[in-house]
Each structure stands twice: as structure tokens, then as C-alpha cells.
Homo-oligomer: A and B are copies of this chain.
Amino acid sequence: MRFKTKGMEPLTTEQKIIKAASKLFTQKGYAATKTREIAEEADINLALLNYYFGSKERLYKEVVKDKLWMLLEVMIPILSDEKVSLEEKVMTIAENYTQLLLEHEELPIFILNEWTVNEDLFVDITRDARLFAKPVIEKQLKENGMKVSVPDFIANLLSLIMFSFVAKPLIVSSGLVEEGEFANFVNRRKGKIWEWMTKINQ
């Protein structure tokens, strides 16, 4: 679905539209983004948007699918891989999420908000994305002498990594962390996640 062009080839019209729509939808949400804005941002004619994607809604679904996948692919394959130890899992996910979210700060709040506001849209997208990792994690938790449940383990892991990004406006405007220090803040936290996870779970 994704074509990463190594060189300088100009984007196709379709790619330009997706890129512009991606930026605007994640910045301002579905309803606040106007098709004319997308066209302008993509530097194409309004009619092209409907020519390629049929409607604003279909374009939106493409973007959501894309962004949701960015968020899930960091987690799903690693969690369910039996050959990866629990420590490696936590370290890798912490590392990958921190890096991803520093580059796309608006990603988690966009997805979580849209998922709340527009639940039906996600029904078909996530139909086959159930968490098949449960038994694997369960086994590894026992091996590590951790007495916590799988849901608590996952919730704690994601909380400690992702919440800072979701609550960034609150954290920054409260003066808790300076805007310019935010990257350092989350990078420092990233290095402590495994320690915290082991302590929490004994």
C-alpha cells in the first residue's frame, strides 16, 4: 500500500492528496477539515479529490487506516512473537513508540479521539486485529515471576510510554515540563520503563 520512493521522483497526484489529507485530518479532525483546504494543501484541483477518492469520507478512511496501522504495527507483531523475551519486548516497544510519537506527536490523540467519536468507522478496520498475543504474554509473565494480569501488564506498559504524548498539552502548560525539554523528558522515561515494569509486577 505504501510506496517509499528513494529518489527525487515527484509524488503522484494520489500521493499528494493523501499526504495533504493526512496532515490536515490529524491536525484538525474530520469535520473541521474542508475538502478545499486539502486540495489547496496538495496543490491540486478540488475535483481531483473526488476523482481519485470518490468522497471526503473515503479519503478520510484511507488516512485513518494508515495512521491506525502506524500505531499498531509497533506493538502487535512484537507482543505475539514467542522468540522475543519479555524484556526485549518492553524495551523495543518503548524505544519504537517514543521515536514514532516524537515524530508524530498528534498520532495517538488523533486515533483515540476518532475512535471515540466515530466508533463505527473502526469496527471493520479492527475486525481482524484482536489481540492474539494474550497466551504468549501470559506464559512469559509467569516465567518472569510476575503476578500481574495480562490486561494490567499491557495497560501499564502503554500508559507509561504513551500517556505523556497524549497529555502533552496538560504537562507542558502546567509548567511540569518545558516545551523544549519534552523530548528529553520522554527519552529519559523510555530508559526506565523496563525497570518500572519489573518493580510494579514484583
Interface residues of A, Cβ cutoff 8 Å to B: 27-32, 106, 109-110, 112-113, 115-117, 119, 122, 126, 129-131, 134, 150-152, 154-156, 158-160, 162-164, 166-171, 173-177, 185, 189, 192, 196, 199-200, 202
- Counting chain B CB atoms within 10 Å of each CB, which of A129, A152, A170, A202 scores highest? A170
Extra 16 A-B pairs, beta carbons < 8 Å, given A131-B176, A162-B163: A29-B113, A106-B116, A115-B169, A115-B170, A122-B169, A130-B175, A150-B176, A151-B171, A151-B176, A151-B177, A151-B185, A155-B171, A156-B160, A159-B163, A162-B167, A200-B200
Contact check, B170 vs A112: say whether CB atoms are below 8 A apart: yes
Contact check, B174 vs A129: say whether CB atoms are below 8 A apart: yes
Q: Which residue of B lies closest to A150 (CB)?
A: B176
Q: Which residue of B lies closest to A186 (CB)?
A: B155
- How far, in Å, is A158 (CB) from chain B's closest CB? 6
Tell me the bound Cα distance from A119 to B129 in angstroms: 33
